[in-house]
Structure 1
Amino acid sequence: MSTPPFSGRITGHGGTHAVTVARHHGVDTMFTLSGGHVFPLYDAAVRPEPVMRLLDVRHEQTAVFGAEGIGKLTRRAGLAAVTAGPGVTNAVSGVATAHFNGSPMVLLGGRAPDSRWGQGLLQELDQPPLLDPVTKKAWTVHDPAAIAGATDEAFALANGAHRGPVFLDVPMDHIYDQADTDLPGSAPAPDRTPDPGAVAAIARLIGEAERPLLVYGSDVWLDGAEDTALAVAEELGIPVITNGQGRGVLPAGHPLLATRARGAAFGGADLVVVVGTPLDFRLGHGLFGGRDGAPLAKTVHIADSPDQLAGHLTLAGAASGDLAAILRALGDAAKPAASVERWRASLAEAAAAAIAADADALASDADPIHPARIYGELNRVLDDDAVVIGDGGDFVSYAGKYIEPARPGNWLDPGPFGCLGTGMGYSIAARLARPSSQVVTLLGDGAAGFSLMDVDTLVRHKLPVVMVCGNNGIWGLEKAPMQMLYGYDVITELTPQTRYDEVVRSLGGGGELVTRPEEIGPALRRAFDSGVPYLVNIATDPENVYPRKTMGV
């Protein structure tokens, strides 16, 4: 969560100013890849005594995903520092992912020195314009005495609703310079009190609806509203669908959880109240209802800040501000109709039928291996506090269907930007943020190619993580749609049964190849018992792809 502005005097080089302020904002780890433009940050982290862990990775993108993962898991901005030029450009996809996820993080970038700018210096590039579209703010500090204040502003922006990434770079000559700075530390907290009239109008809509539905997204977790969200859903008795880090707000098996009846819920609802997630492609862009010729549902959008409210469709109601306050007010004011009980029962019946229909797939003895069998085995060994990370396409889509977290905030996926390669950075962050929990990273074989070298980082820093690779030897998200469109496919093949487990072993971890369904459970147990980064490489059936009604959904 956000902290008050830094106050006090700081003396030293620019790195000392930045690190001192970052520590004030709760940062204890700096994700980085070594570069001379940011050496003063490292110096400040370790001298005269260590005040911040340096977590060095093999690719700058992993550093950013690590910082974003910390933001997702702790709800406090993580920190990444990268060198100038390609260090910054390598980080852009990670920053864009954090932007679309609304994840709080700060990226500090090196920059060629001001004193010789324009002379063709090594890695001379004006970087903020590259980051401006995918950050809350991106700018350069040209005065060593201003570094502390700018860093303080960066963390305040990142941690404030709506959360997101912030980029700040400092020219090399200024971050090495000495300076004295006094910061007053006074700044009023933003008023996030919701409009009572807007909340009352939504409460009336809930009372008028026969088939209302709640949707809880990542910002319910990030805004600290998860306990209130659960309590209000139970008080109102309204079915709930969760996505992103909202998964687990209603734990697996909760009678109001309608995620397994998603089609029936969205198609049959007459009112959908979406809380803490955008009305994007994952939610049909906010168009619900219409099943069997019925009218479209009324859509209500509730967001943590006004700029997050959907503007591409006419909303029946909208409110913004502190999500816990909005939900609490709805719980107090809304009086659902008696018909909600029948609606709730119908969705519970549909969810039970879907779960029953999946039983055969989850226990499948098919050879080659059905991907669902992996999740049938994994669900038997996952603890309630396990952190589950998805990095992939088809294989992770199965995870979204078959794994239901027991607690909120414990599910991490790339989010709506769909950037592969998040897995290792999120894994590092999860092991640091949740040292006593299981950490399980689900990799498609395509995604594995983006970041598997950073298993070296897990090994060097002694961060045990269980990795499960669904290895079907194809780009599954592309192969089937291309065949559907053209009747053939090209460049969608990977080498079957590539030994990603041997890659992990060569980097100092453990791993094994699994080719038969009965081998999956024992292999997973060996992975959890190993105490090292361990990859279970499972050869799955390339003909069994995740069923989608539309491309990209």
Structure 2
Amino acid sequence: MDSSGLVRGAPQTGHPLVAAAVDAGARTAFTLSGAHIFPLYDAALRGEPTLRLIDVRHEASAVFAAEAVGKLTRTPGFAMLTAGPGVTNALSPITQAHFSGAPLVVLGGRAAQLSWGRGSLQELDQPPLFASVTKSAATITDPALARAALTGAFAVAGAAHRGPVFLDIPLDLVFHPEVPQSGGAESVAGAESLSGAGAESSRQPDPEAIAEIARLLRQARRPVLVLGSDVWADGAETAALGVAEQLDIPVITNGMGRGIVPRGHRLLATKARRLALGKADLVIVAGTPLDFRLGYGAFGPGGTARVVHLADTQEQVCRHRGLAGAAYGSLGVILAAIREASTPGSWREWTTRVAGEAAAGAARDAELMRAGGDRINPARVYGELAPRLADDAVVIGDGGDFVSWAGKLVEPARPGCWLDPGPFGCLGAGLGAAIGARTARPDSQIVLLLGDGAAGMSLMDLDTLVRHQLPAVIVVGNNSAWGLEKHPMRALYGYDALADLGERTAYDAIARALGGAGETVERPEHLGAALDRAFAAGVPYLVNVITDTDAAYPRSTSGI
């Protein structure tokens, strides 16, 4: 070993960090090659146990892939990154996982401890960069504690409320995992938060809180149930559908909660969202924050509706507005307890009214989805795509206007089949999410919906899909603009600036150059056949759809 901490000589096999990751449930590590973590690659490929490695073209895609695995499997996804820029490239995807409540473990390389303080290559104290957007961020400074630290990281990331954990390990220690250092437990900075002890303590809800929610339901005349990502993450989807059906309550879903009440269900009120949330007198929000997506919880006429918040931990219960009731703990237990304690109220007329509005909304959407003409309305893309989606298809959204149309028009048939950036709204997540989704769901359709702006942030990782033989259907809504900025700027200023992209860019040619396949579609009547070819291809296939720049998504400013 020289002064940089780099080992000269034969590679090693087996490594406590790889063993810890596999024992914790990781089956794939997403990465981009870097010398700071070479021993982990060697152990993953030749050691016992082995760990599948998928290398990407940008570290952000590695973490977005691991985040997707965490969301889809409900166990922490795993990424390994080299030091310095390799780690700092992970800041946005780790932050997205933080806001989405996605279980994720990121292990980073770090400049050698032996030469620390002398200005070695990529010497940076990395954990403080992640302190505000992780459940824990720490450095392993004693190899004897490395395995326990990573085991604890997986436990913490996967425990409610779920989220990312970051660990790094110095170059000299990752190459010499068998050499103990002095320092004891304090040799893992933040070791107390990574022990895994107590990570899943009792999550039984307060019975009095359940009784109060049942009382509020008895008093309600226009109740609505909102189901979000944490309902899926907590394994509470069956309990959620059960309480909705027994109590006959209209339901609105968001995030990974989409599909809990499947498309076509009589209680699914997403297409009557404005009526349901605008006229409700009681809104029970489960597993999602009362953030901008829900108008900050100002429901009902003049914001007068009573609000109940159900969360997986006490820290997630809303604090910015007054609540009529709240419960926290296991969401499955909470929802089952509410079902047991409640009886259907006198709101049949309300449920019928909301269902009628949802049916009318579906009819309006169906008309949009049949749009013809010389230019392709984004809604027509989804009119052709929706009937081609299998019930277990994983649909990934990465874009502004184009993906907003998808959120309006594509309803999943099952839970755990919709991926979007969540409340952080980070563009560029799509290719990584497609990589992760294909590894997590090898037998499902994987469909990535890209705005042309988002495509520019990560399209090079189509190469990763090709190299690792991970087929996916990629649909680019190409309106030659940053549509999410272009139209609002026009409305504000009467003109737009910095919102135009290259006209009719041939993104499908990029896909072919990287070893995939694809085509450009310019006429509505050609969409269906192009999508059929994409699904049948068995390779990464990009359908570059030239859409109408002026067909802006109709946005509400209320958040409702």
Hey, what's the Cα distance between the residues in 2 that align with 1:268 and 1:48? 61
Q: After superposition, what is the alpha-carbon deviation per residue over 1:388-426, rounded to whole angstroms, capped at 9, x for unaligned? A: 000000000000000000000100001100000111111
Equivalent pair of 2:376/2:546 in contact (CA under 8 Å) = yes
Q: Cα–Cα, structure 1 residues 15 and 306, in superposed 2: closer, same or farther, change >3 Å?
A: farther
5+ unaligned residues in a row in structure 1: which ranges?
1-11
Following superposition, the deviation at residue 201 of structure 1 comes to 0.7
Aligned twin of 1:32: 31
Residue identity matched to 1:514: V
Q: Does 1:501 align with 2:500?
A: no
Following superposition, the deviation at residue 483 of structure 1 comes to 1.1
Aligned twin of 2:410: 403
Aligned twin of 1:158: 157
**For residues 109-258 of structure 1, what are the structure 2 equivalents within 5 Å?**
109-179=108-178, 187=197, 189-258=200-269
Q: Which of these residues, 300, 320, 326, is aligned with residue 289 of structure 1?
A: 300
Residue identity matched to 1:191: S
Hey, what's the Cα distance between the residues in 2 that align with 1:464 and 1:358? 30
Q: Cα–Cα, structure 1 residues 305 and 186, in superposed 2: closer, same or farther, change >3 Å?
A: closer
Which piece of structure 1 moves more, 348-357 or 517-526? 348-357
Following superposition, the deviation at residue 367 of structure 1 comes to 1.6
Equivalent pair of 1:15/1:176 in contact (CA under 8 Å) = no
Q: Which of these residues, 289, 300, 303, is aligned with residue 308 of structure 2?
A: 300
Residue identity matched to 1:341: R
Equivalent pair of 1:527/1:536 in contact (CA under 8 Å) = yes
Give 3-state SS (helix, strand or coil) of 2:114's partner.
helix
Q: After superposition, what is the alpha-carbon deviation per residue over 1:222-258, rounded to whole angstroms, capped at 9, x for unaligned? A: 0000011111110111110000010000000000000
TM normalised by structure 2 equals 0.94
Aligned twin of 2:345: 337
Following superposition, the deviation at residue 187 of structure 1 comes to 4.4
Residue identity matched to 2:331: L
Q: After superposition, what is the alpha-carbon deviation per residue over 1:29-65, rounded to whole angstroms, capped at 9, x for unaligned? A: 0000000111111111112356110100000000000
**For residues 397-546 of structure 1, what are the structure 2 equivalents within 5 Å?**
397-546=404-553
Aligned twin of 2:8: none
Q: Which of these residues, 294, 299, 317, is aligned with residue 309 of structure 1?
A: 317
Equivalent pair of 1:70/1:429 in contact (CA under 8 Å) = yes
Following superposition, the deviation at residue 25 of structure 1 comes to 1.0
Equivalent pair of 2:13/2:42 in contact (CA under 8 Å) = no
Residue identity matched to 1:234: E
Following superposition, the deviation at residue 279 of structure 1 comes to 0.5
Following superposition, the deviation at residue 434 of structure 1 comes to 1.0
Hey, what's the Cα distance between the residues in 1 that align with 2:87 and 2:435? 20
Following superposition, the deviation at residue 180 of structure 1 comes to 7.5
Q: Does 1:16 align with 2:15?
A: yes
Q: Which of these residues, 361, 364, 373, is aligned with residue 366 of structure 1?
A: 373
Q: After superposition, what is the alpha-carbon deviation per residue over 1:277-316, rounded to whole angstroms, capped at 9, x for unaligned? A: 01100000111011xxx66100111000011111111111
Q: Cα–Cα, structure 1 residues 551 and 270, in superposed 2: closer, same or farther, change >3 Å?
A: closer
Q: Cα–Cα, structure 1 residues 505 and 108, in superposed 2: closer, same or farther, change >3 Å?
A: same
Following superposition, the deviation at residue 21 of structure 1 comes to 0.9
Q: Does 1:318 align with 2:326?
A: yes
Equivalent pair of 1:14/1:177 in contact (CA under 8 Å) = no
Equivalent pair of 2:227/2:254 in contact (CA under 8 Å) = yes
Give 3-state SS (helix, strand or coil) of 1:416's partner.
helix
What is the identity percentage for the equivalent residue pairs of Structure 1 and Structure 2? 59
Residue identity matched to 1:506: A
Equivalent pair of 2:240/2:335 in contact (CA under 8 Å) = yes
Following superposition, the deviation at residue 486 of structure 1 comes to 1.3
Equivalent pair of 1:14/1:179 in contact (CA under 8 Å) = no
Following superposition, the deviation at residue 433 of structure 1 comes to 1.1
Following superposition, the deviation at residue 178 of structure 1 comes to 3.3
Equivalent pair of 2:518/2:544 in contact (CA under 8 Å) = yes
Following superposition, the deviation at residue 488 of structure 1 comes to 1.3
Following superposition, the deviation at residue 549 of structure 1 comes to 2.2
Residue identity matched to 2:202: D
Equivalent pair of 1:13/1:175 in contact (CA under 8 Å) = no
Following superposition, the deviation at residue 357 of structure 1 comes to 1.5
Hey, what's the Cα distance between the residues in 2 that align with 1:462 and 1:501? 18
Following superposition, the deviation at residue 428 of structure 1 comes to 0.8
Following superposition, the deviation at residue 186 of structure 1 comes to 9.1
Equivalent pair of 2:246/2:344 in contact (CA under 8 Å) = no
Hey, what's the Cα distance between the residues in 1 that align with 2:71 and 2:251? 22
Give 3-state SS (helix, strand or coil) of 1:114's partner.
coil
Q: Does 1:269 align with 2:280?
A: yes
Equivalent pair of 1:271/1:299 in contact (CA under 8 Å) = yes
Residue identity matched to 1:318: A
Q: After superposition, what is the alpha-carbon deviation per residue over 1:100-141, rounded to whole angstroms, capped at 9, x for unaligned? A: 000001000000011111111111111111011110000111
Aligned twin of 2:57: 58
Equivalent pair of 2:66/2:78 in contact (CA under 8 Å) = yes
Q: Cα–Cα, structure 1 residues 14 and 229, in superposed 2: closer, same or farther, change >3 Å?
A: farther
Following superposition, the deviation at residue 205 of structure 1 comes to 0.6
Hey, what's the Cα distance between the residues in 1 that align with 2:259 and 2:458? 27
Hey, what's the Cα distance between the residues in 1 that align with 2:303 and 2:451? 39
Residue identity matched to 1:204: R
Q: Cα–Cα, structure 1 residues 510 and 50, in superposed 2: closer, same or farther, change >3 Å?
A: farther
Residue identity matched to 2:266: P
Q: Cα–Cα, structure 1 residues 421 and 206, in superposed 2: closer, same or farther, change >3 Å?
A: same
Aligned twin of 1:328: 336
Equivalent pair of 1:383/1:438 in contact (CA under 8 Å) = yes
5+ unaligned residues in a row in structure 2: which ranges?
1-10, 186-194
Give 3-state SS (helix, strand or coil) of 1:116's partner.
coil
Hey, what's the Cα distance between the residues in 1 that align with 2:418 and 2:225? 19
Aligned twin of 1:4: none
Residue identity matched to 1:373: R
Residue identity matched to 1:28: R
Aligned twin of 1:5: none
Hey, what's the Cα distance between the residues in 2 that align with 1:244 and 1:517? 29
Report the RMSD for the aligned CA atoms in angstroms.
1.8
Q: Cα–Cα, structure 1 residues 186 and 247, in superposed 2: closer, same or farther, change >3 Å?
A: closer
Give 3-state SS (helix, strand or coil) of 1:265's partner.
helix
